[in-house]
């Protein structure tokens, strides 16, 4: 079995490809009809989940500063952990990306989309045996939306005017219309906790498929099956262990030896080696996740837009997709939205590598000397190599980028969102509004580029309540251009998940 057929078989196993598509692509790759039929049957039969056993995950992205409080989840390890023990009101459909019921059974808006009523599921128990109530939901949302909160979801909840329990229903009133409110409630920070987590935010008590058994920040986290889970279509294994493995070589060795059954952030350069092992299955999917170099627009020398533009023009995006992603991704255009999002603004000119224009803007900026870029392998797979490529391409434009490699432990608390120029990563969000509200609105708590633009803010608020999709798409286009041309985001590539 070659790399192509391994990939196709993996898509079938995970339900990502039907028989017709598989047969067509397999035979196009030179597989005979008989062999393709047999391979499809074998792969399809592997879709049926088996109960029992244990699952061990070796994940990059953890640190000693990790907190089990979902409000403070900032690393890949904690994103995964929170989803393991907690549930949100609404989930995202894995294929359509539409919001679907979870702890909220249904919802309905007022005609102006300012008032939303959510029917809360009954008969759901927390891990401590107490029944979840609408009051717990109200308390959770109030904790994350409070003006003094430290929650990463605060930015997307700022428009909430009131949160109430009315006859057992959750009623949320906004200061302006928002057609995307159900999608906002899929945010991983917003897992429902007893009394909202006010009393014990770090207890790890939720309604998820697994209970927290132990937690060592930056080391490991163990879970045991929740025998009172309200859902029967999950929780197939008895125990789950998440092990922090920030070293890529260690992750690959652990997977190859069977120490763990799943790893994340696979460096595309290692794919040929991994797929030679008969027990290893490669899973890939496209998404809105992207690798970035972020500049603080309010700190010198990055407070000069000509300097920011010079750096954006001095990066070879095609080369990065080829050498860093191994082709598993697409070039970015310096705004965080791609065609996986609804109402994607098409027709925006693709920015390309142009050392002459970069040199022009660099000279116009008046800056002399080097710029310091901080990077680490925990920022994204291949981040250090990507930084070196950036350094090399910028040099052709007469720009000297000095690279400082930071340790992985503490990167997300000491470098990202702290230092003015660094490598980073953003995952996808349910909607454009959710992404922009959380990271690009002037008042957003996770505005890691310090981008503050009054026109952008007004467009975002107006688009949020606009029910006409054509008008909304055009506003999203204007917003994308503003971020692309004036923001502090250098976005060379959208990564496939490998």
Q: Which structural domains are found in the chain, ordered by start?
A: 3-45 (no CATH), 87-197 (3.90.76.10), 290-495 (3.10.105.10)
Q: CA-to-CA distance for 337 and 182, rounded, in angstroms? A: 20
Q: CA-to-CA distance for 418 and 413, rounded, in angstroms? A: 8
Question: In this structure, how many other beta carbons lie within 10 angstroms of the beta carbon of residue 76?
Answer: 19
Q: How far from 102 is each of 4, 144, 470, CA to CA, in Å? A: 36, 19, 30
Nearest to 490 by CA among 361, 369, 315: 315
Q: How far from 354 is each of 282, 291, 357, 397, 399, CA to CA, in Å? A: 35, 20, 6, 8, 13
Q: CA-to-CA distance for 51 and 291, rounded, in angstroms? A: 36
* Residue the block writes with tokens 């949100």: 88
Supply 274's token pair.
């991994």
| Range name among 98-102, 278-282, 489-493 with the lowest pLDDT average | 278-282
Average of per-residue pLDDT across 233-261: 93
Q: How far from 314 is each of 123, 215, 319, 365, 480, CA to CA, in Å? A: 57, 43, 12, 14, 20
Where residue 273 falls among pLDDT bands split at 50, 70, 90? confident
107 pairs with which residues across the strands?
118
Residue 490, SS3 per DSSP: strand
The conformation of residue 350, written as its DSSP 8-state character, comes to P
Q: CA-to-CA distance for 18 and 339, rounded, in angstroms? A: 22
Q: CA-to-CA distance for 433 and 445, rounded, in angstroms? A: 15
Q: Does pTM surpass 0.75?
A: no
Nearest to 464 by CA among 188, 112, 68, 180: 180
Q: What is the DSSP string of 74-114?
A: -SHHHHHHHHHH---SEEE-TTT--EEESSEEEEEE-TTSS
For residue 435, what are the contacts with CB-CB under 8 A and spacing of at least 6?
A: 288, 336, 337, 426, 428, 429
| Range name among 75-79, 124-128, 274-278, 387-391 with the lowest pLDDT average | 274-278
Question: In this structure, how many other beta carbons lie within 10 angstroms of the beta carbon of residue 298?
Answer: 13
Where residue 94 falls among pLDDT bands split at 50, 70, 90? confident
494: alpha, beta or left? (left if phi > 0; alpha if psi -120 to 50): beta
Tell me what pLDDT residue 233 has: 87
Question: In this structure, how many other beta carbons lie within 10 angstroms of the beta carbon of residue 416?
Answer: 21
Supply 31's token pair.
């597989």
Backbone phi and psi for residue 307, each to the nearest 5 degrees, phi listed first? -65, -40
Q: CA-to-CA distance for 65 and 59, rounded, in angstroms? A: 16
Average of per-residue pLDDT across 26-55: 66
Higher pLDDT, 276 or 414: 414
Higher pLDDT, 249 or 45: 249
Average of per-residue pLDDT across 211-231: 97
Q: CA-to-CA distance for 149 and 489, rounded, in angstroms? A: 26
The conformation of residue 285, written as its DSSP 8-state character, comes to B
Indicate whether 16 pLDDT > 60.
Answer: no
The conformation of residue 407, written as its DSSP 8-state character, comes to P
Indicate whether 3 pLDDT > 50.
Answer: no
For residue 471, what are the contacts with CB-CB under 8 A and spacing of at least 6?
A: none
For residue 385, what are the contacts with CB-CB under 8 A and spacing of at least 6?
A: 323, 324
Average of per-residue pLDDT across 226-244: 95
Where residue 271 falls among pLDDT bands split at 50, 70, 90? confident
Residue 400, SS3 per DSSP: coil
Residue 65, SS3 per DSSP: coil
Average of per-residue pLDDT across 130-147: 98
| Range name among 284-293, 351-360, 362-371 with the lowest pLDDT average | 284-293
For residue 483, what are the contacts with CB-CB under 8 A and spacing of at least 6?
A: 334, 335, 336, 440, 451, 456, 489
Q: Are 411 and 376 in contact (CB under 8 A)?
A: yes
Cα pseudo-dihedral 229, 230, 236, 239, rounded to 10: -20
Indicate whether 181 pLDDT > 80.
Answer: yes
Tell me what pLDDT residue 279 has: 82
Distance of CA 360 to the CA centre of its chain: 35
Alpha helical stretches, state H, 366-497: 383-395, 411-414, 432-439, 454-464, 469-486
For residue 420, what are the contacts with CB-CB under 8 A and spacing of at least 6?
A: 295, 296, 299, 302
Where residue 428 falls among pLDDT bands split at 50, 70, 90? confident
For the chain, counts of helices (H) and of strands (E): 16, 17
């Amino acid at each position: 079995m070659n790399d192509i057929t391994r990939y196709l078989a993996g898509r079938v196993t995970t339900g990502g490809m039907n028989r017709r598509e598989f047969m067509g692509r397999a035979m196009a790759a030179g597989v005979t009809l008989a062999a393709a039929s047999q391979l499809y049957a074998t792969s399809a039969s592997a879709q049926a989940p088996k109960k029992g056993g244990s699952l061990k995950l070796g994940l990059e992205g953890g640190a000693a500063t990790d907190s089990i409080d979902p409000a403070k989840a900032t690393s890949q390890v904690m994103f995964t952990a929170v989803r393991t023990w907690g549930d949100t009101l609404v989930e995202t459909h894995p294929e359509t990306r539409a919001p679907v019921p979870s702890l909220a059974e249904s919802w309905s808006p007022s005609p102006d989309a300012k008032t939303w009523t959510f029917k809360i599921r009954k008969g759901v128990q927390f891990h401590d045996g107490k029944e979840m109530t609408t009051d717990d939901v109200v308390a959770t949302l109030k904790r994350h939306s409070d003006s003094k909160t430290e929650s990463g979801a605060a930015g997307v909840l700022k428009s909430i005017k009131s949160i109430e329990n009315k006859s057992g229903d959750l009623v949320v009133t906004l200061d302006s219309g928002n057609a995307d409110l159900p999608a906002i409630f899929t945010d991983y920070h917003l897992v429902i906790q007893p009394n909202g987590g006010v009393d014990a935010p770090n207890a790890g008590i939720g309604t998820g498929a697994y209970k927290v058994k132990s937690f060592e920040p930056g080391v490991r986290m163990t879970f045991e099956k929740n025998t009172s889970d309200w859902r029967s279509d999950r929780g197939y294994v008895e125990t789950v262990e998440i092990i922090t493995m920030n070293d890529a070589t260690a992750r690959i060795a652990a997977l190859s030896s069977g120490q763990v059954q799943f790893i994340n952030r696979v460096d595309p350069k290692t794919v040929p080696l991994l797929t030679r092992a008969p027990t290893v299955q490669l899973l890939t999917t496209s998404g809105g996740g992207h690798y970035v170099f972020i500049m603080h627009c309010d700190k010198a020398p990055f407070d000069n837009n000509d300097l920011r533009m010079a750096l954006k023009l001095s990066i070879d995006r095609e080369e990065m997709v080829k050498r860093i992603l191994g082709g598993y991704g697409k070039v970015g255009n310096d705004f965080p939205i791609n065609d996986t999002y609804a109402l994607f603004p098409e027709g925006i000119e693709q920015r390309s590598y142009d050392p002459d224009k970069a040199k022009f803007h660099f000279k116009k900026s008046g800056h002399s000397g080097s710029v310091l870029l901080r990077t680490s392998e925990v920022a994204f797979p291949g981040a250090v190599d990507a930084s070196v490529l950036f350094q090399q391409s910028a040099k052709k434009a007469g720009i000297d980028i000095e690279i400082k490699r930071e340790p992985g432990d503490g990167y997300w608390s000491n470098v990202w969102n702290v230092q003015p120029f660094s490598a980073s990563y953003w995952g996808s969000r349910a909607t454009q509004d959710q992404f922009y509200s959380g990271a690009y609105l002037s008042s957003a708590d996770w505005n890691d580029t310090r981008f503050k633009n009054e026109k952008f803010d007004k467009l975002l608020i107006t688009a949020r309540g606009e029910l006409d999709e054509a008008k909304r798409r055009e506003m999203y286009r204007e917003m994308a251009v503003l971020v692309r041309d004036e923001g502090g985001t250098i976005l060379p590539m959208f990564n496939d998940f490998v």
